[in-house]
């Protein structure tokens, strides 16, 4: 099953369970929190296990190839400093979007620490016939509000990433072999890269590769700053060229 669908199903079931326990068994709420955290950690480990194993194999495969170039942190920082005017705007826009993803958590904490704000959700609770039903509907509307905010922020992130071609990721160092690139010793990119997924900018000195996201997460744009972007582009697209 698609990981995104699983996330939605788990979110909806958890929302109802939290509302029910909060209303009918408030003394069990802390246990529910612990169980939820354990469940989520288990799901994350299960869903990422295969992709992590594949990533490790790809890193090992690429590193066993003939080394063409090793681009150091110092070289990348030097090239980035010459591109800082445009790069800072790109990172600023993306940073604002990342802050949006924390909005649901911030609002949740504020509402928890200021119980009077929860009175807004008691309007929905008035539809209940008994005290427990009213509490259940109030809690359900509260959790639904937080859940909708969370989903909305995720959607905005995916829309932004789609328009930009992916979320920008800049490795601090990388190694190029005749089998591909290993960025930051953990991100493998095998050769050849489809030409529709890669571009280079000779003026700004980088090659940018679109890497598909995992489990519903948005795509990433892995930006490799390089002294010779055209040659790196040729290498990654399968042409005979070497990075100097």
Is residue 206 over pLDDT 70? yes
| CA dist 59 → 98, 153, 188 (Å) | 28, 32, 5
Instruction: Report the range out of 67-81, 98-112, 160-174 with the highest average pLDDT.
Output: 67-81
Is residue 202 over pLDDT 80? yes
Q: Where are the alpha helices (DSSP H) in the chain?
A: 3-24, 29-63, 73-82, 84-100, 103-113, 122-125, 131-164, 229-236
**How far is Cα 104 from Cα 151, in angstroms, rounded to an integer?**
9
**How far is Cα 216 from Cα 213, in angstroms, rounded to an integer?**
7
Tell me what pLDDT residue 41 has. 84
Q: What is the pLDDT of residues 141-159, one digit of tens each?
A: 888 888 888 888 888 888 8
My answer on whether omega of the bond before 192 falls inside 30° of 0, hence cis, is yes
| CA dist 106 → 10, 99, 112, 113 (Å) | 21, 10, 10, 11
Tell me what pLDDT residue 112 has. 73
Mean pLDDT value across residues 100-104? 80
Tell me what pLDDT residue 26 has. 84
Residue 116: DSSP 8-state: G
Main-chain dihedrals φ then ψ at residue 182, nearest 5 degrees: -120, 115
Q: How confident is the model at residue 241 (pLDDT cuts 50, 70, 90)?
A: very low
Tell me the HSE value of 39 on the side-chain side, using a 13 A CA sphere: 12
Is residue 239 over pLDDT 80? no
Is residue 244 over pLDDT 50? no
Q: How confident is the model at residue 99 (pLDDT cuts 50, 70, 90)?
A: confident
Is residue 216 over pLDDT 70? no
Q: Which residue has the higher pLDDT, 77 or 22?
A: 77
**How far is Cα 17 from Cα 36, in angstroms, rounded to an integer?**
10
Is residue 242 over pLDDT 50? no
Q: Which residue has the higher pLDDT, 183 or 104?
A: 183
- Structure-token pair, residue 24: 């009918």
**Degrees, nearest 5: CA angle 61-226-204:** 140
Tell me what pLDDT residue 3 has. 64
Is residue 67 over pLDDT 70? yes
Coil, helix or strand for 223? strand
Mean pLDDT value across residues 180-201? 94
């Amino acid at each position: 099953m698609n990981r995104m669908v699983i996330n939605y199903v788990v979110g909806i079931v958890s929302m109802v369970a939290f509302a029910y326990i909060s209303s009918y068994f408030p003394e069990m709420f802390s246990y529910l929190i612990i169980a939820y955290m354990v469940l989520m950690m288990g799901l994350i480990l299960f869903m990422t296990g295969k992709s992590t194993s594949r990533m490790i194999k790809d890193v090992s495969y690429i590193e066993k190839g003939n080394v063409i170039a090793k681009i150091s942190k110092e070289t990348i920082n030097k090239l980035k400093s010459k591109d800082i005017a445009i790069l800072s705007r790109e990172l600023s826009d993306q940073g604002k979007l990342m802050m949006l993803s924390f909005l649901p958590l911030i609002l949740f904490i504020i509402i928890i620490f200021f119980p009077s704000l929860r009175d807004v959700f008691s309007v929905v609770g008035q539809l209940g016939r008994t005290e427990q039903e009213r509490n259940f509907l109030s809690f359900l509307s509260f959790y639904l509000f937080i859940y909708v905010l969370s989903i909305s922020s995720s959607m905005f992130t995916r829309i932004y990433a789609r328009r930009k071609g992916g979320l920008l990721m800049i490795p601090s160092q990388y190694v190029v072999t005749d089998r591909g690139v290993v960025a930051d010793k953990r991100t493998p990119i095998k050769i050849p890269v489809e030409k529709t997924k890669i571009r280079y900018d000779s003026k700004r000195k980088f090659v940018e590769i679109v890497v598909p996201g995992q489990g519903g997460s948005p795509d990433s744009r892995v930006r490799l700053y390089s002294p010779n972007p055209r040659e790196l582009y040729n290498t990654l697209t399968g042409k005979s060229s070497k990075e100097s």
